[in-house]
Each structure stands twice: as structure tokens, then as C-alpha cells.
Amino acid sequence: MNNANRKKRKSQRKQKQLLNLLLLTAVFFCLVLGILLILRRTRAPETEIIQETIPETETETLPETESETIPETTEEEILPPGMVSGMTLSFYHIHLHESDDSVMPLVFMQPEDALDLSEIWASSDEAVASVDESGNITPESPGNCIIWVTSAMNPDVFAEVSVTVYPDDEELPDPEQLCSGFSEEDTTRNDIQVIGGITYVQGVMLVNKTYPLPSSYYPDGLTPETKEAFSELRHAASEEAGLRLFSDSDFRSYRTQVYLYESYCKRDGKEAADRFSARPGHSEHQTGMVIDVNWAGDAFNDTEEAVWLEQNCWRFGFIVRFPREKEEFTGYKYESWHIRYVGTEWAKKIYDSGLCLEEYFHVSSRYS
């Protein structure tokens, strides 16, 4: 091979190498660009989820329905520090008899350390329901109206409560009929109704640290549905597993709870008592839909009976109301013995979700 040929081949080889290098660099950049794009795409919903979940985990707020949300612009606007940026209420719908006592929704302003947390209240129709400066809503005469609450500091932040007042001789509506029927997957919204002082979320009676029962609520024992479901549960435990389950305690009146809570406070102090005993009006035992099974105490945890109960009670419409590691949501430490009747449909959904009731319905449990 002559010299000129060799040189030519050499330069051709060099050109080829250069071309390969260029190609490789181009492929590398494409890859990097691709990865960056993928990252951006996967990150976007993540931030959305974080924004959505913050309100219910960190604060005791209730996710609002569209009409109740804070105008979206407030999120994008850059607010001066200390300015109120959002607001949620403990309920958005209330049904009252005309002679009922006044009721006040709890207001949660965001951020909690805003400089001025005061509210301005107004009624769309004072003849139907009036509202005072603290937010006490008083029924006046049958009809519908809206109660507005606005942040005194930032008038862009407001919420509405729809009020329906019924004549005293008319029955209050059935809570289940009032559910607006969210899709089963959509648990990011709730539908809280207060009917005659009792709170319902999607038709399920709700009693916890945020939502009390009126002191006058007195079903005088277990509700018939709860009684029947518990008897079926006991039968199944005995037949299927040879276990003996029985009620250690079930219905407790408001008055009994006053006595119990006060004696726990005296014995253990208020802070400790709040972790295992409810304040009067806040005890689920007052619903007549709760049973403490066999032994209301930590000694019941992890027994064969407790394990069976945890795995099977949903079949009969019950849920273990204060599951393990859910204290931040329920407000109570683990209680393997305390089961609550919610009906078979809800019990299955809640059990399958692995969530506690507060998480499932996006509601809070915190004393105000």
C-alpha cells in the first residue's frame, strides 16, 4: 500500500471516529433530555398530591368542595407574610329545626400564625337564620339561606355554610339521602352534614374530638342494627374459630361519660386522659353503635380474639375504630377492642383501604 493511500485511509478512519463521537454525544444529550422530561412529568403530580394532602394531615381541615374552595388566585398571588391565605370549616351544610339552639362551625384559617385570624359573619337571609359575630348560627323560620364567613384580614378568603331550617313538626332529612354521591375512588372530598346537631359524613354518623354529639342524644342502648350485627359476629367467631366474644361495655350516656372522663382526669391528668378517654359529647359510645369487646384494655391487644376481630369484624359492618399507628388521625392510641358499627358497605370499603375512618373521609379529630 502506498503512502498516499495509507494517509487517505487514516484520515477516513479519523473522520469515522469523529462522526461516531458526534453521534454518541448526540445520543447522550437526547438521553439526558429524555430523563429530564420524564422527571419533570413524574414530579408534577407529586407536588399536587403533596398540596392536596397537607390540609388534612397537618391541619384538621376538611377538603372543600368546589363552591367552598378558596379562590385559586390566592395561591398564585404572592401574599405578604402574616396574611390569611385560606380557610376551612368543620362543616358546610346544616339542617335545623326552627326552635333548635344555635350552632357554630369551627373555622380553621391558614396559615395558623397569620397576623389576624378574625372573621366577619353574614347571613343571606336573617329571617331564615341569623348569625352573630362569633359565628353562632340561630334558626329563625323555615327556609334556606347562606351564611358567609370572610377573613377580616383578607376579604378574598371566604367560605359558605348552607342552612336549611325546618318547621318543628317536620322530620329532619335522612342523612343518607343527602349524600351527594361521590365516586368510590374519590375520597379526597367529603360531604359533612349537620342534622339536628349531629354530624354525618356521607351519611355515617361522625363522633370524635372535632365532632361532638348533643348532650341530649340518648339512644338508650345499642341501636337495633348494631345489636343484630354484633350477635352475628359473635356467632361467627364461635362457629369459625371457637372464640368467645362478648360486650365488655357498649352504650354510655353523656352523663356517664362526664363521670368517667372526670375520674380519669383526676387519676391520670387531663393530657393522659385525652389519649384514651373522650370528653363528654365526644365519646362514640354515646352513639349506641360501639362495643368494647371482651376486655377494654391493652391486655386484649394481640390476643387470638383481637386478631380475629381485626380481620373479620368488617364482614358484619364493624371497623376497629382506633387502629395501630393511627393516633395522629384518630386522636386515640390503639384500641383493639373498640369496634364501631358503620354498616357492611362502609366497613368493607374502610377495611380494604387500610385507612382509619378519619383518613378515609378526610375529617379531623382534634379538640378546638
Smallest distance from Zn ion to CB 249, Å: 7
Residue 124 or 249 having the CB closest to Zn ion = 249
Site residues (CB under 5 A) for Zn ion, limited to 143-182: none
Smallest distance from Zn ion to CB 336, Å: 11
Smallest distance from Zn ion to CB 337, Å: 7
Q: How far apart are the C-alpha atoms of 76 and 238, rounded to whole Å? A: 59
Smallest distance from Zn ion to CB 284, Å: 7
Contact 220, 285 (CB under 8 A): no
Helix (H, G, I), strand (E, B) or coil at 45: helix
User: Any contact of residue 292 with Zn ion (CB under 5 A)?
Assistant: yes
What string of DSSP letters covers 189-231?
Answer: ---EEEETTEEEETTEE--SSSSPPPTT----S--HHHHHHHH
Q: Which stretch binds Zn ion (CB under 5 A): 125-133, 273-281, 300-308, 337-345?
A: 337-345
Residue 119 or 292 having the CB closest to Zn ion = 292
Residue 282 or 338 having the CB closest to Zn ion = 338
Residue 326 or 338 having the CB closest to Zn ion = 338
Residue 102 or 301 having the CB closest to Zn ion = 301
Residue 300 or 308 having the CB closest to Zn ion = 300
Smallest distance from Zn ion to CB 366, Å: 19
Q: How far apart are the C-alpha atoms of 150 and 121, rounded to whole Å? A: 7
User: Any contact of residue 252 with Zn ion (CB under 5 A)?
Assistant: no
Q: How far apart are the C-alpha atoms of 205 and 199, rounded to whole Å? A: 6
CB-nearest residue to Zn ion: 338
Smallest distance from Zn ion to CB 223, Å: 16
Rounded to the nearest angstrom, the gap between the alpha carbon of residue 328 and the centroid of all alpha carbons in its chain is: 12
Cis preceding-peptide flag for 214 (omega within 30 of 0): no
6 to each of 13, 14, 15, 20, 109, how far by Cα in Å? 10, 12, 14, 21, 82
Q: Which stretch binds Zn ion (CB under 5 A): 12-20, 90-98, 270-278, 284-292?
A: 284-292
Interface size with Zn ion, residues (CB under 5 A): 2
Smallest distance from Zn ion to CB 328, Å: 19
Q: Which stretch binds Zn ion (CB under 5 A): 9-17, 172-180, 214-222, 334-342?
A: 334-342
Helix (H, G, I), strand (E, B) or coil at 158: strand
- Listed in sequence order, the residues at least 6 apart from 164 whose beta carbon sits closer than 8 Å to its beta carbon are 93, 94, 95, 96, 143, 144
Q: Which stretch binds Zn ion (CB under 5 A): 97-105, 130-138, 189-197, 291-299?
A: 291-299
- Listed in sequence order, the residues at least 6 apart from 297 whose beta carbon sits closer than 8 Å to its beta carbon are 337
Smallest distance from Zn ion to CB 250, Å: 9
C-alpha cell at 310: 381485626
User: Any contact of residue 338 with Zn ion (CB under 5 A)?
Assistant: yes
Q: Which stretch binds Zn ion (CB under 5 A): 11-19, 133-141, 167-175, 292-300?
A: 292-300
Tell me whether strands 129-131 and 204-205 are parallel, antiparallel or unpaired. unpaired
Interface residues toward Zn ion, by CB under 5 A: 292, 338
